[in-house]
Structure 1
Amino acid sequence: MDFMKPETVLNLANIRDALVRMEDTIIFDLIERSQFFQSPSVYKPDVFPIPDFQGSFLEWSLLQLEKAHSQVRRYEAPDETPFFPDQLLKSFLPPLNYPPVLASYSNEINANDEIMRMYIHEIVPLISAGEGEQPENLGSTCTADIEALQALSRRIHFGKFVAEAKFRAETERFTKLILNKDVEGIEDAITNSAVEEKILLRLLEKGQAYGTDPTMKYSQNPQSKVKPEVLVRIYKDLVIPLTKKVETDYLLRRLEDEQ
């Protein structure tokens, strides 16, 4: 997949390969986060006296990272979606003129607020090593959170590329659905239950392989860092539905560019 060559980006086989690689990143990031306690103070606003900032430690840390990365063009890339799009800084590097792949409004499709809520309230309790605080690990916890959030965001927003590829492959079908504002019909059209089952099965197998101490692999009591069933649940109940929402929101506006 080469973002300078749109035909490679909208190739469904290439998209599928990219999504498979993202699974690995997400699994390892969740495993890294699983060594720490829930540490709710990381997510509560105004717990720490951060100068000139109102919000949580996680939000402040993520904002600083996005500001730095925006200066080296990270968020000019079509597959990157910032959590704080209105607070990015101008890059000092020369701009990259990516050829258009997605619709002109694609940057407006941003599910990061929902991803943040989902991560804090549903994923963190599932994967943390324990409840309560770990004052000595607040920075490490926050760093692991940011890596997991960015990986989840990239994977979920890749739904825009999936949606564009599907629209171009079945333009007439999707045009009718969009004109009729048929949300249920669009959701049915983008759903492939067989593919979803393969994803979940693959996640189960990867979780068993990546999340287990290899020295105890054949023990009667293997020590799994994140239970494979939890990884499957996160994808089935959270990641896949939110990806579909991104796809649907993108497709509902797809005729704007045609007009």
Structure 2
Amino acid sequence: MDFMKPETVLDLNNIRQALVRMEDTIVFDLIERSQFFLSPSVYSQSKFQLGDFKGLFLEWLLLQVEQTHSQVRRYEAPDETPFFPQQLKPSILPPLKYPKILANYSDEINVNQEILNFYVQQIVPQVSCNDAEQEENSGSVACCDVECLQALLRRIHFGKFVAEAKYQADPILYKQLIENRDIKGIEESITNSAVESKILERLVVKGESYGTDPTLKYSQNPQSKVDPKLIARLYKDYVIPLTKKVEVDYLLRRLEDE
């Protein structure tokens, strides 16, 4: 996949391979997060002195990281979605001229807040190794959280490329569905239950492989760092549905770009 060559980006086989690679990143990031306690202060607005910033300590750190990364062109890439797009800084590197791949409104399609909410409310409590505070590791916890969120943001918003590829593969079908505002029909057209089942099966295998000490592979108690079935369940309940929401929201506006 080469973002300078749109035809490679909108190839569904290339998209699937990219999504598989993203699974690796997300699984490893969750394994890293699982070594720490819940640390509720990271998700507080009042524990630390953050100046004029109004939000969670986690959000504050995410903003600092995005501002730094924006200075080296990270968010000029078509496959990156910032959480704080209005507060990025100019890049110190010369701009790149990416060809147009997605519709003009694509930056307006995002589910950032939904991702943050399910991460804080659902993922963190389930992967943390203890539900207590761990003040000496607040910074490390927040750093792990930022990496998890960035990986999830990229993976879920990659649904825009899936949606564009499917639209271009069958524009007649999608024009009819869009004109009729047939949300159910669009959802059915983008859903492949067999592929989704394979994703969940693969996540369990990856969770078992990446989260287990190789020397304990054949032990009766392999001691996975994160329950592999939990990772698959989080994908099933949150990652896949939010990706579909991105695809539907993108497709419903696709005729604006015709």
Please indicate the TM-score interval, normalised by the length of the shorter structure. over 0.9
Matched, 1:34 2:34: yes
Give per-residue Cα distances to partners, 1:146-166, cap 9 Å, x unaligned: 000000110000000000000
Offset at residue 54 of structure 1 (A): 2.0
Give per-residue Cα distances to partners, 1:155-187, cap 9 Å, x unaligned: 000000000000000111011000011111100
Distance in 2, Cα, partners of 1:114 & 1:152: 11
TM-score by length of 2: 0.99
Matched, 1:142 2:155: no
In structure 2, the residue matched to 1:76 is 76
Offset at residue 132 of structure 1 (A): 1.5
Offset at residue 59 of structure 1 (A): 0.8
Letter in 1 for 2:17: D
* Runs of 4+ residues deviating >6 angstroms: none
In structure 1, the residue matched to 2:234 is 234
Distance in 1, Cα, partners of 2:35 & 2:115: 21
Offset at residue 190 of structure 1 (A): 0.3
In structure 2, the residue matched to 1:87 is 87
Offset at residue 112 of structure 1 (A): 1.0
Distance in 1, Cα, partners of 2:46 & 2:55: 5
Q: How many residues align?
A: 258
In structure 2, the residue matched to 1:221 is 221
SS of alignment partner, residue 161 of structure 2: helix
The gaps in structure 2 that reach 5 residues or longer are none
Offset at residue 93 of structure 1 (A): 1.5
Distance in 1, Cα, partners of 2:77 & 2:30: 24
Distance in 1, Cα, partners of 2:201 & 2:53: 43
Distance in 1, Cα, partners of 2:44 & 2:171: 45
Superposed CA RMSD: 0.7
In structure 2, the residue matched to 1:151 is 151
Distance in 2, Cα, partners of 1:154 & 1:126: 22
Offset at residue 92 of structure 1 (A): 2.0
Distance in 2, Cα, partners of 1:203 & 1:120: 21
Contact 1:46 1:54 in 2 (8 A): no
Offset at residue 71 of structure 1 (A): 1.1
Distance in 1, Cα, partners of 2:241 & 2:82: 20
Letter in 2 for 1:248: V
Give per-residue Cα distances to partners, 1:112-162, cap 9 Å, x unaligned: 111000100011111010102001100000000000000011000000000
SS of alignment partner, residue 28 of structure 2: helix
Matched, 1:198 2:198: yes
The gaps in structure 1 that reach 5 residues or longer are none
In structure 1, the residue matched to 2:66 is 66
Letter in 1 for 2:47: V
Give per-residue Cα distances to partners, 1:16-63, cap 9 Å, x unaligned: 000000000000000000000111110111221122222221111110
Distance in 2, Cα, partners of 1:189 & 1:53: 42
In structure 1, the residue matched to 2:110 is 110
In structure 1, the residue matched to 2:19 is 19
Contact 1:47 1:56 in 2 (8 A): no
SS of alignment partner, residue 133 of structure 2: coil
Offset at residue 226 of structure 1 (A): 0.4
In structure 1, the residue matched to 2:252 is 252
1:172-187 equivalences under 5 Å are: 172-187=172-187
| Percent identity over paired residues | 69
Distance in 1, Cα, partners of 2:92 & 2:203: 40
